[in-house]
Every structure is written in structure tokens, then in C-alpha cells.
Amino acid sequence: MPDSDDPAPPSRSAAGDSPPVAPRRPRRWERFGQRFEDPWSWLRDREDPEVLRHLEAENAWTDRVMEPWSGLRDRIEQEMRDRIVPDASSPPLRHGPFLYQSRYRPGEEYALLTRRRAPTRPRGRPGPDEILLDPNQLARETHGAADAGHFQLGAVEVAPEHDLLAFAMDDVGRRIYEIRFLDTRTGEFLPDRIPGAAPNLVWAADGRTVLYVRLDPETLRWCEVLRHRLGEPVEADRIVYREEDDEYHVSVWESRSRELLLIHCQQTDDAEAWAVPARDPDAAPRRLVRRGRKHLFELDHFRGGFVLRTNRDAPDYRLVFAPADAPDDPAQWEDLIPHREGVLVEGFELFDSAVAVFERRAGRQELVILDWERRTERLVRLPGQLRALDAEDNPEPGAGEVRVVVSGPKTAPRTLAVSLATGRRRQLKREKVPGFRGANYAERRLTARARDGARIPISLVHHRERPPGPDSPLLLYGYGAYGISMDPIFSRPRLSLLDRGFVFAIAHIRGGQELGRAWYEAGRQHAKENTFDDFIACAYRLRDRGLCDPARMFAMGGSAGGLLMGAVVNRAPDLFAGAVAMVPFVDCLNTMLDETIPLTTNEYDEWGDPREEAFFRRIAGYAPCENVPRAPLPHLLVTSGLHDSQVQFWEPTKWVQRLRARNTDPTRRILLRTNLDAGHGGRSGRYRGLPELAEIYAFLVGSAREP
């Protein structure tokens, strides 16, 4: 187990004299009788040479401070690389007459999309392997090398006859995609190119028309569905549907019946659905379910009617079947899966013989098979007490199995095929992790009591030879927003922490949906502060149970979880030895007041609309940038992406300046690392992002070893 050869911590003399200081340019503003100062508001222009010089200076400062740990960082990065199987591939997936697969070539960043013609008789041999799409080559064409610059594939959709492939690609990291088309018979790209798109498109039945979603060029909201015919100018594309309400976004997909192209409009508390016939993409869309009733649902068309996952009279959702001519009439709905207290219906997959239903019971994900004819339910036995469950691609409704992926904190992902008739499962693939043995690790769950009495689940994993105790370093991770559940997934990189004696814990705080919709409602808008209090309660629980060294407890979160980090550090600056805030949403008050910033209006239902006084005061009371105390702060590593469209780069940049200005302990490291060629998700590719993560782990391990 890696350990004692790691170097001593950085010193002030080794790091240099002082970090970069951005000039203060006074900006004062007032709202609802409260006055604010924002002296670094000028750090907003990613094209401004002065801004770029400041970001480069911050990166250089982080390099200098981290230099004594460079050997540790390099070792951790190599460990991460060594756990990657060079020629990894996915299990073949039957779609029409072909078996599709993704696979890596050794040393390459991106997986190839390949296919073979499926055998026409039992035990027959598939046809030869064809490479359909090579993202490495596309990245080389864009950036000169596959390991330079950003490259991300979005939607990849095969035409009905499998002769064409449509895909979306982002080569900047701003999540603004270009849609391109490939002739799968010749390997040639078609001249059609659609810029400014979302990674969301669907083929019409003619195989020559696509419906796609276009972004608002300023706010990047998914706002329009357009129709494109191959060979015609993009400028001639017609708008099929435009969403005028700034709080809604739109998406489009093909129904399971393949008869309809479904348009879904949604905001946090309400939704609406429209449909276009797949065989007549020129037809005007027909509204299926109207908005305005605080009704959330997912809808699909199959077996001559509609299946809805709906929260109508069901806070944790139910599954219903609706007639084709009345999908919006609850009086005509038939319950397939009724609402049950404590059981959250999370999703479903439709097949000819059954429905695969994904549920969450007592915080744990489960798979249920519903027989169409008998209306009987079968709970599938899945491995692992702490687990994460995800649906795999299941493109064929006539299949006799549903494919899922199961993993856990000490269990590498397994792709399973579960029989729809019997519930029996067979393993299609177990992900290989060189050097890893699950038996070397242990996992457990406990709870913390929040300030208002709520019981907050905590998931833990650690090395068996390093059980949690009063001398253990510990990393507590949290998110707590948008109803997104932080499930206990497997992580290859995390093994480098566990093997060095770290305990890793996930705080399943309110704002997520681990314990149902009410768990989410209790952590948003006016109840948002529960999220922060829950995280702090989990930290105290771990400390008071003697499961970690209080002087070596660290916190980590990203995006909305970065806001969590900022709020927690402000409220309890002496609780953690250090924190990592990745692309943190910390300038939330200013951002939520600026409707021109991408995604702001979509966020009102999550945080509240600060144009209203009650919400303004609530957000102003916890906004990280506005509430930094004058106190000794913990060590902090903050990351950012210059092209981030979700959390603009200036938010962490401004926050770091304020943290340093308010910190009263000069020995504390407050570092900013800005990725100058990436966005919200960091560097793309399976290897390119490892140095960033290795640096974060070196920061944690090195800080934990300080006297």
C-alpha cells in the first residue's frame, strides 16, 4: 500500500512570497435595502488578456505551492493509469441486424464505435468488425492531436435502415454541439453540418429527416426543436416547436413504438408533452399533456397507448397506462405500478412482454419486472448492499432481457442481462480493474441526526487494513441539489485514497432524492439551508463516532456541491482541515440576478427567484461569496474551467480572491486551478483528465500528512 515515501508538506519559502492579487475595481450595488460590494466583477471576459494573465498567474502559483508534492501527484496519476484496461470494450448490443459495440485501442483517449452484422441463425458467427466512428480522428482533425484540446460526443443515433449515423460533437467544452452525419456504408461524412445544437436529436421514419434541439445562443437554453432534411441548407430548417417560457427546456426522442417523435417541455415543477408522427415529420405537433398543473411526468407510446411515470396524486410517482386518445385525462388512466409510500419510481423501460421499472426503496435502488398480461411484479435480486443501478441501452422492445449496470463502493461495475420472464440474471461483463480485489475493502452505512431531527444516511468505504478510527483521514463528499441522488458508485481513482488509509464517505443530504421527492423538496428554495446543515451534521457524526481524526477530515463537492462547500466553510470554518470545491457555483447571488448568464432562468425553481425579496434575502444569507467570515479558513483547492457554460469561470476566480482577503491564517493554502481548454466536466478523454484528479488527491493526501 503506497505510504511512507511521500514528501513533507510545502512550506511558505518553497511556495514563494504571495499568491496573485487581482486589482479591486469598486462596484457597489443595493437591492431590498441591502448593500453589497463586488470589487472583482470585472473578471468576466474570457477574451480579456488581463483576465487570462490573472488565470495563468493563479495556475503558476498553484504549480509552485504544489511542487513539493509533484512526486506524490505523479505516483497517484500512474496508479490511476495502471487501473485502466488499455483495450477495454463494451458488451455487444443487438440493434436491428447489427451488434454494436464501443471499444478502445491502447493509448487512445476516446472509444471507437464499431459494429458487426449479427448472425442469422443460433450459434452462428457474426460478420467482420466495422469501425463506424473514430472520435480520436475527429479530435486530431480539430486540434491537431487526439490528446490536445477538448472533444466530446453527445447524441449518437443510427438511422432506421442503419445506413446513416447522426452524432453531436463539442470541441470547445462549452456544451454547444455541432451535428454531423456519416454514411455507414462508405465511411464518408455528409456535407450537412448543424451548429449551435444541443446533444439531442432523433430520426424520422424516412431515414432522411432529423428533428434536433437548438440552443438559445445567449443563455444556452434548449429552446427550439427544428427539422432538417439531408442535403438541404441548414438555414432552411423549419421550427417544429419553440418554447417561449425561459424557465422551460425542451428535448425530443423517438417513442418505443417508433410511431411518434415526442417533444418534452419541462421545468422543475411542471411539464408538457407534444408529438409528431414519425412517418410525417412535416406535420404540426399535437399536444398530448398540457402544462400549468404542477404535474411532472415522463411519457412514452407503446402497445397502442401511452405509459406515464407521473406524480399526479403520487409524490413519489406511479406508473400508469393511458389510452391513445386521452393521455391527459387522469380519469382514464390505469395504474400499472401504484403509488406506495417510501417507494420512489425513478424510471422504466418498455418491452413487448414486460416493463422494467427502476425504483428506490429506503434509499437503495431496485429493479422490478412488471408482466404486461398478468400485471404481476417481480423484485429482482441484485448484488451488493450499497449499490448503484443504471439502465444500459435497450434498443429492442422484442428483447427477452433488460440490460443493467450494477456497481458499489467496493464492487467494480457489472453489466447484467436480466430475464423479463424469470428475473434470473446473467453477467455479460465485469469491468476489469488491474490490481484491485474487492475483498480488500469494506463498506457500511450509518446515519446522522440533523438539527431538525431528520436522519441523514451516510455511505462509507475504506481499506480493510485501515478501518475507520480516531487516527483516520476522511473525505466527506456531498452534492444535495436538483433531486440528483449521489449513489455509492465504484471509482477506480478513489482507490488511491483508500489505499493510503483514507475513509471515503458520501453524505446523502437533502436536496438529493435518495429518500424520495420529499427529500428533495426539503433541500431547495426556502429549505435550501437544510442541505448545508445536513452536511455539517454528518461531519460531526463521523467525528463524534471516532471514525476519523478531527484534524484530518476533508470535504469535497462540485458545481452545486461546490456551493455546498462554500456555505459549509463559511458556517463552520474550523470543522474541516481542508476542502476541494470543483467548478463551484459560489457567486450564486449575482448569477441568479443576471438573466443573460446561461441557464439562470432555469434555476429559479431550484434556488428561488431573487427578484422577489423573500428569495433574495434567503440566497443572500448563504451565498458563499457574500458570507466569507474573517477567520482562519481551511486549506482550499478550487477548480474551474474557462469554457464552463454551467458555472462561469469568474465565480471561483472571484471567490478565491475574497477567501484570501478574509482568511486570517497565513499558513493556509487557498489555491485556484483553471483549466484553460475545458468546461464544466474538466478535460475530456480517459487519460487527459487524470493529472487534474491526481493533483486533487495529492492535495488531500499531502495535507493529511502535515503535523
**% the chain with pLDDT above 70:** 98
Closest among 231, 158, 235, 238 to 191, alpha carbons compared: 231
Closest among 221, 219, 240, 218 to 229, alpha carbons compared: 240
pLDDT over threshold 70, residue 639:
yes
Can you list the alpha helix ranges (DSSP code H) found in 522-669? 529-544, 560-571, 588-592, 604-607, 613-622, 650-662
Which CATH superfamily does the domain covering 23-82+436-704 fall into? Alpha/Beta hydrolase fold, catalytic domain (3.40.50.1820)
pLDDT over threshold 90, residue 1:
no
Q: Which amino acid is at 288?
A: L
Asked if 522 contacts 530 with a C-beta cutoff of 8 angstroms, the reply is yes
Residues 644, 645, 684, 703: which is the catalytic one?
A: 644
Question: Average per-residue pLDDT in the chain?
Answer: 94
Residues 496, 559, 640, 684: which is the catalytic one?
A: 559
pLDDT over threshold 60, residue 528:
yes
pLDDT over threshold 70, residue 13:
no
What's the pLDDT at 607?
Answer: 93
What's the pLDDT at 275?
Answer: 98
- 100 forms beta bridges with 93, 115
Q: Which amino acid is at 217?
A: P
In whole angstroms, give the CA distance from residue 438 to residue 417: 22
For residue 210, give the C-alpha cell. 432529423
State the average pLDDT over residues 385-410: 96
Asked if 501 contacts 463 with a C-beta cutoff of 8 angstroms, the reply is yes
pTM of this prediction?
0.94
In whole angstroms, give the CA distance from residue 517 to residue 656: 34
680 is annotated as an active-site residue: yes
Confidence tier at 496 by pLDDT (50, 70, 90) = very high
What's the pLDDT at 651?
Answer: 96
What's the pLDDT at 10?
Answer: 38
- 675 forms beta bridges with 641
- 427 forms beta bridges with 416
User: How many whole angstroms from its chain centre is CA 122?
Assistant: 40
Asked if 653 contacts 58 with a C-beta cutoff of 8 angstroms, the reply is yes
In whole angstroms, give the CA distance from residue 468 to residue 546: 8
H/E element holding 498? Answer: helix 495-498
330-336 own/partner pairs: CB under 8 Å, 24+ apart: 333/308, 336/307, 336/370, 336/375
Confidence tier at 324 by pLDDT (50, 70, 90) = very high
What's the pLDDT at 9?
Answer: 39
- Cα–Cα distances (Å) from 632 to 214, 260, 572, 636, in that order, read 47, 60, 11, 12
For residue 498, give the C-alpha cell. 483508500
Q: Which amino acid is at 626?
A: E
DSSP class of residue 171 equals S
State the average pLDDT over residues 271-293: 97
For residues 3 and 285, which has the higher predicted lDDT (pLDDT)? Answer: 285
Per-residue pLDDT reduced to its tens digit, 469-479: 999 999 999 99
What's the pLDDT at 515?
Answer: 96
What's the pLDDT at 245?
Answer: 93
**% the chain with pLDDT above 90:** 89
DSSP class of residue 6 equals P
Can you list the alpha helix ranges (DSSP code H) found in 517-573? 517-521, 529-544, 560-571
Closest among 698, 700, 644, 654 to 675, alpha carbons compared: 644
Confidence tier at 596 by pLDDT (50, 70, 90) = confident
Confidence tier at 644 by pLDDT (50, 70, 90) = confident
Residues 54, 228, 635, 680: which is the catalytic one?
A: 680
What's the pLDDT at 11?
Answer: 32
In whole angstroms, give the CA distance from residue 454 to residue 444: 20
What's the pLDDT at 5?
Answer: 36
For residue 483, give the C-alpha cell. 433531486
In whole angstroms, give the CA distance from residue 569 to residue 482: 21
In whole angstroms, give the CA distance from residue 357 to residue 334: 16
pLDDT over threshold 60, residue 15:
no
Phi-psi region of 511 (alpha: psi -120 to 50; beta: other; left: phi over 0): left
Confidence tier at 597 by pLDDT (50, 70, 90) = confident
pLDDT over threshold 50, residue 7:
no
Give residue limits of the domains in the chain. Answer: 23-82+436-704, 90-149
In whole angstroms, give the CA distance from residue 166 to residue 181: 5
State the average pLDDT over residues 491-518: 97
pLDDT over threshold 90, residue 54:
yes
In whole angstroms, give the CA distance from residue 190 to residue 228: 13
Confidence tier at 12 by pLDDT (50, 70, 90) = very low
What's the pLDDT at 109?
Answer: 95
pLDDT over threshold 50, residue 298:
yes
* R_g of the chain, CA atoms, integer Å: 26
459 is annotated as an active-site residue: no
What's the pLDDT at 232?
Answer: 97
What's the pLDDT at 16?
Answer: 47
Per-residue pLDDT reduced to its tens digit, 201-245: 999 999 999 999 999 998 899 999 999 999 999 999 999 999 999
